[in-house]
Chains A and B, each alone.
Chain A
Amino acid sequence: MNKLSSIINNRKSSSKNHLVSTSLNNSPVSSPVSSPTSFGTDSGAISPTSSLDIEQNYGECLTPFNIHHINLKDSKSEEKRLPVKSREEVLSKEEYNLTVPREITNEFFGGDDKIINHILTYVNFDHKILRCTSLVNKKWNELSQTPENWKLAYELLESMLSPQPEEPNPASPEPDDYKEKTRALAKRLSIKVPSAKNMRGSAREPKKLDPVDPSGFYAVDYKTIQYAEDPEDNIERVEEGGKLVINASTLNKLIEEMTSHTTYDPHFLHTFILTYRSFTNSKELLDKLIQRFNIPPETDCTPESFAEFKSDKLDKIRLRVISAIKYWLENFYVFDFGSDKEMISKVENFIDLAQKSNAQALSTMLTRTLQNVTTKDSGSGVVQGRLKCPPIMTIKRGVFNKNKKFSVLHYPLQEVARQMTLIDFEQFSKIEPKECLNQSWNKEHRDTKAPNINKMIQHFNRVSNWVGTEIVKCEDLEKRTKKMVSFIELANLCLELNNFNAVFSIQSGMALAAIHRLRNTFNALPEEIKELNNKLSAYLSRDKNFGMIRSNIKSRRPPLVPYAGLYLTDLTFIEEGSPKYLERGDNKLINFAKCRQFASVIRDIQTYQQDRYAFEVYPELRELLLNLEVMEEEQMYKLSLVREERAKKKSANANKSKSPE
């Protein structure tokens, strides 16, 4: 069996993992995408193993090469890196450049610029599907030379089309039939089949590999490396939305999947990195990846068999390991490495090890990544300059109020809403994926384990209590009513700014027992304000699991500050709703379906963390908002009783039931 057919068979046997057909059927322009790990060189091997569903993979698109922006012609000049794209940005781009670091191109394409340019010409971002047809086209040149090859081509295409290819049909068509059938199939796949006269050259025999001595490729004696791949039983897959996804697996098997030489699923990588802390820790993960990098050949391998192992497996796995670490560094540096010296030194040691393992190109790539992420400005707070900010609505100061101490509600409400929104967004955008796992915001040590969620909740409560405090502080009904009107208007302005967090905090301030009971005040509200208040409090409705606010959030365009409690509820339900591990006999498999659920919530959070508000900070007002003066709830309640007495008929019973213990 020649190399090509072995690839095809490979592809068949693993085709369960990626159902190309689904996305193909959905999109007439789609075509399979060659996974970079399978970019062949002289052997001409291609295996279009992965279909990239950009719809699902916007942020982390696209390949281990991390498509950012590379211009091969300027490969010596500094690599420019674009910031992570938002979903909208990515989807709106019609064209997109493939970024392939020079080291990789050298390593995998033998530095042949012609091949590379050929590939790049055809790579474009066609609406939602990344097309990478050139390799397929190149393949045609080789495949379509002989009838035998037409058959292989047909099988290749068919295996791409059908999720579970059947055994070869006993009544195989004649070679000529294959030609027609292949063209028909190719048409379905939107692959341009070169016509016979356009074909140049002849099919090349797969190049014979030169023998290689294994010892040069390991930093230690490879015979001493203890490493075995996990049995296939240790991973379970289920169908979800037409795709086979991992249901449960051991950690080792997950690592293998992540660095597989045959499959590639960037969505899986992202899910894994977002959620691994629910079943392991960063150090163990990095160790396991390094172990994987050092996957040894058979102990009795010959230079010939090692050459094959190297080209079929080792090189690909190593590239995938590096890509995974690179991806991890680029997207999670702040969370997992930034403040952890041990992790950084582990990566540095690994770079060193890779160097000694004859993987200089890969190690250089990682070195560069590390340099980039450590010097990158983490950019927090407000973006100024780039976005057009409306002017700050300042308080009018005259001779008489020059030295007056203002309180928040003295400022124009519109500006108060903006400043509140800036603060809320800033706090929300700081939430890290790891804080979302294991209900850490509700547990002991939440100050350290979920510092950002914790801060956000504290601020939320403060705002609620401030609303309550301000209202009960007013002695007479008229002033109280006026305050209440201000807060309702403020909440409405926040709603207009898509700040659902503030709508929740203000509204729940008015729902505090101390305020809710102030019937006279509520009754004194002007009709239109009453109406507005009803509309706003409807957002707080828990009906249908906060259905009202959920659908509202979804229907609005960012920038937006969601009410984070929603996500915390979802995370809690996921956490408690299913076990972390699934028992399979003596085996304990990580419930990866659960991780996918976590990841989808965390992705929702991240979606709204990206788009910032274009407002300028108004320092004096911001200062006030960050230091709101509030009363204790109990004090508020007592004061509330003074403001409006208990209804007479209630008092006897109520007092009885409220007697202190």
Chain B
Amino acid sequence: MDCDVLYKVVVIGDSGVGKSNLITRFTQGKFSKDSKPTIGVEFGAKTIEHEGITIKGQIWDTAGQERFRAISAAYYRGANGALIVYDITNQETFNNLNKWFKEIENQGENGCLNVLVGNKCDLDHLRQVQTEDGRTFAEKHNVSFMETSAQDNTNVDLAFTSLLKEIYKNQKKGKKTGGNTGGDSSAEKGKEINLHEPVAQPTEDDKKCGC
């Protein structure tokens, strides 16, 4: 069995906004207290069903290496989508969003789809960033927006799956219309990128994820 398409999604944002927690939550506790990062363990991959096809999202996290600036260049390359995360209890992480948007625009692929995510919405009493401000910012940048909580699992699935579906929709559209979805590179590749891009490891990994 194979997945039909594979997309690379990166999760970016200041450190401490809970990126790894979101990923863990979405991919469902890839590491419990007993597991340990080891060679060969691919963290952060999840398969969803949509319109009768299997979409595998390979989710990349900078996890601890955020400050190795140049490393992140490789990280963005080939990304089909990005979750840009801030912490609603920390105004500074919201103020830094411009930096992150710029980063993904400079470094990311042209067709990369973004979602803005305000994390830690369970901590409403500590809120520093109003939902409205997040929404306005998202509208200005023409991206979708939601608030999530990795803690109590609010909207985590939704954030990822809607992004994956959106990417799929976009790619399909791009292919149909001959490829003009605002980003030529993704359109060029269309659906077929998915199994030939470097991100895809069609052999062992697909076996492993069982998609």
Complexed CA–CA distance, A345 and B154 (Å): 51
A650 contacts across to B, CB distance below 8 A: 110, 184-185
What is the distance, in angstroms, from A456's C-beta to the closest C-beta of chain B?
10
Count of residues in B whose CB is under 8 Å from the partner chain:
45
Interface status of B210 (Cβ within 8 A of chain A): no
B201 contacts across to A, CB distance below 8 A: 543
A593 contacts across to B, CB distance below 8 A: 33-34
Q: Which of A547, A568, A633, A658 contacts B65 (CB 8 A)?
A: A568
Interface status of A178 (Cβ within 8 A of chain B): no
Q: Are B73 and A653 in contact (CB under 8 A)?
A: no
Interface status of A302 (Cβ within 8 A of chain B): no
A508 contacts across to B, CB distance below 8 A: 68, 70-71, 73-74
Q: Are A464 and B70 in contact (CB under 8 A)?
A: yes
A443 touching B16 in the complex, CB below 8 Å, given contacts A508-B73, A633-B69: yes
Query: A457-478: which residues lie under 8 A (CB-CB) from chain B?
Result: 457, 460-461, 464-465, 468
Q: Are A574 and B37 in contact (CB under 8 A)?
A: yes
Q: Are B39 and A572 in contact (CB under 8 A)?
A: no
Interface status of A505 (Cβ within 8 A of chain B): yes
Q: Are A565 and B106 in contact (CB under 8 A)?
A: no
Chain A 435-468 interface 0/1 with B at a Cβ cutoff of 8 Å (1 = within): 0000101110000000000000100110011001
Interface status of A516 (Cβ within 8 A of chain B): yes
Q: Are B77 and A516 in contact (CB under 8 A)?
A: yes
Q: Which of A461, A468, A516, A572 contacts B20 (CB 8 A)?
A: A572
A545 touching B70 in the complex, CB below 8 Å, given contacts A513-B106, A653-B182: no
Q: Which of chain B's residues has its CB closest to A550's CB?
A: B39
A516 contacts across to B, CB distance below 8 A: 73, 77
Complexed CA–CA distance, A545 and B63 (Å): 11
Q: Which of A465, A577, A656 contacts B35 (CB 8 A)?
A: A577
Chain A 586-613 interface 0/1 with B at a Cβ cutoff of 8 Å (1 = within): 0000010110010010000000000000
Q: Which of chain A's residues has its CB closest to B30's CB?
A: A577
Q: Are A442 and B16 in contact (CB under 8 A)?
A: yes
Q: Are B184 and A442 in contact (CB under 8 A)?
A: no
Query: B89-110: which residues lie under 8 A (CB-CB) from chain A?
Result: 98, 101-102, 105-107, 110
Q: Which of chain B's residues has its CB closest to A572's CB?
A: B64
Q: Are A461 and B69 in contact (CB under 8 A)?
A: yes
Q: Are A441 and B70 in contact (CB under 8 A)?
A: no
Interface status of B125 (Cβ within 8 A of chain A): no
Q: Are A657 and B33 in contact (CB under 8 A)?
A: no
Interface status of A542 (Cβ within 8 A of chain B): yes
Q: Are A545 and B64 in contact (CB under 8 A)?
A: no
Q: Are A570 and B37 in contact (CB under 8 A)?
A: yes
Count of residues in A whose CB is under 8 Å from the partner chain:
54
Interface status of B53 (Cβ within 8 A of chain A): no
With a 10 A CB-CB cut-off, give which of B74, B75, B77 has the most chain A CB atoms.
Answer: B74
Complexed CA–CA distance, A457 and B106 (Å): 22
Chain B 28-66 interface 0/1 with A at a Cβ cutoff of 8 Å (1 = within): 000111111111111100000000000000001001111
Q: Are B106 and A637 in contact (CB under 8 A)?
A: yes
Interface status of B67 (Cβ within 8 A of chain A): yes
Q: Which of B32, B42, B184 contacts A543 (CB 8 A)?
A: B42
Interface status of A375 (Cβ within 8 A of chain B): no
Complexed CA–CA distance, A565 and B37 (Å): 14
Query: A541-560: which residues lie under 8 A (CB-CB) from chain B?
Result: 542-545, 547, 550-551
Complexed CA–CA distance, A649 and B180 (Å): 12
Interface status of A540 (Cβ within 8 A of chain B): yes
B105 contacts across to A, CB distance below 8 A: 657-658
Interface status of B15 (Cβ within 8 A of chain A): yes
Chain A 511-541 interface 0/1 with B at a Cβ cutoff of 8 Å (1 = within): 1110010000000000000000000000010
Q: Are B15 and A442 in contact (CB under 8 A)?
A: yes
Complexed CA–CA distance, A577 and B34 (Å): 10
Q: Which of B73, B75, B106 contacts A658 (CB 8 A)?
A: B106
B41 contacts across to A, CB distance below 8 A: 544-545
Q: Are B15 and A443 in contact (CB under 8 A)?
A: yes
B15 contacts across to A, CB distance below 8 A: 439, 442-443
Q: Are A577 and B70 in contact (CB under 8 A)?
A: no
Interface status of A327 (Cβ within 8 A of chain B): no
Q: Which of A443, A551, A572, A654 contacts B110 (CB 8 A)?
A: A654
A442 touching B64 in the complex, CB below 8 Å, given contacts A544-B40, A577-B24: yes
Chain B 108-150 interface 0/1 with A at a Cβ cutoff of 8 Å (1 = within): 0010000000000000000000000000000000000000000
What is the distance, in angstroms, from B19's C-beta to the closest C-beta of chain A?
9
What is the distance, in angstroms, from B184's C-beta to the closest C-beta of chain A?
5
Interface status of A573 (Cβ within 8 A of chain B): yes
A573 touching B31 in the complex, CB below 8 Å, given contacts A441-B67, A511-B73, A547-B39: yes
Interface status of B21 (Cβ within 8 A of chain A): yes
Interface status of B183 (Cβ within 8 A of chain A): yes
B43 contacts across to A, CB distance below 8 A: 545, 573
What is the distance, in angstroms, from B123's C-beta to the closest C-beta of chain A?
16
B16 contacts across to A, CB distance below 8 A: 439, 442-443
B69 contacts across to A, CB distance below 8 A: 461, 464-465, 633
A545 touching B68 in the complex, CB below 8 Å, given contacts A443-B16, A657-B110, A661-B98: no
Interface status of A215 (Cβ within 8 A of chain B): no
Complexed CA–CA distance, A547 and B21 (Å): 22
A597 touching B36 in the complex, CB below 8 Å, given contacts A516-B73, A658-B105: yes
Q: Are B31 and A460 in contact (CB under 8 A)?
A: no
Q: Are A513 and B64 in contact (CB under 8 A)?
A: no
Q: Are A513 and B107 in contact (CB under 8 A)?
A: yes
Interface status of A569 (Cβ within 8 A of chain B): yes
What is the distance, in angstroms, from A562's C-beta to the closest C-beta of chain B?
13
A656 contacts across to B, CB distance below 8 A: 182
Q: Are B184 and A578 in contact (CB under 8 A)?
A: no
Complexed CA–CA distance, A460 and B65 (Å): 12
Complexed CA–CA distance, A357 and B2 (Å): 72
B31 contacts across to A, CB distance below 8 A: 573, 577-578
13 further interface pairs, Cβ-Cβ under 8 Å (given A571-B64, A597-B36, A650-B110): A442-B15, A461-B69, A464-B69, A464-B70, A505-B70, A508-B68, A540-B74, A544-B42, A545-B37, A545-B39, A569-B37, A593-B33, A658-B106
Question: Residues of B with Cβ closer than 8 Å to A?
Answer: 15-16, 20-21, 24, 31-43, 60, 63-71, 73-75, 77, 98, 101-102, 105-107, 110, 182-185, 201, 205
Q: Can you identify 15 A-B contacts, CB atoms within 8 angstroms?
A: A442-B64, A460-B70, A465-B70, A508-B70, A508-B73, A513-B107, A545-B42, A565-B64, A565-B65, A565-B68, A569-B64, A573-B20, A576-B21, A576-B24, A650-B110
Question: Residues of A with Cβ closer than 8 Å to B?
Answer: 439, 441-443, 457, 460-461, 464-465, 468, 504-505, 508-509, 511-513, 516, 540, 542-545, 547, 550-551, 565, 568-574, 576-579, 582, 591, 593-594, 597, 600, 633, 637, 649-650, 653-654, 656-658, 661
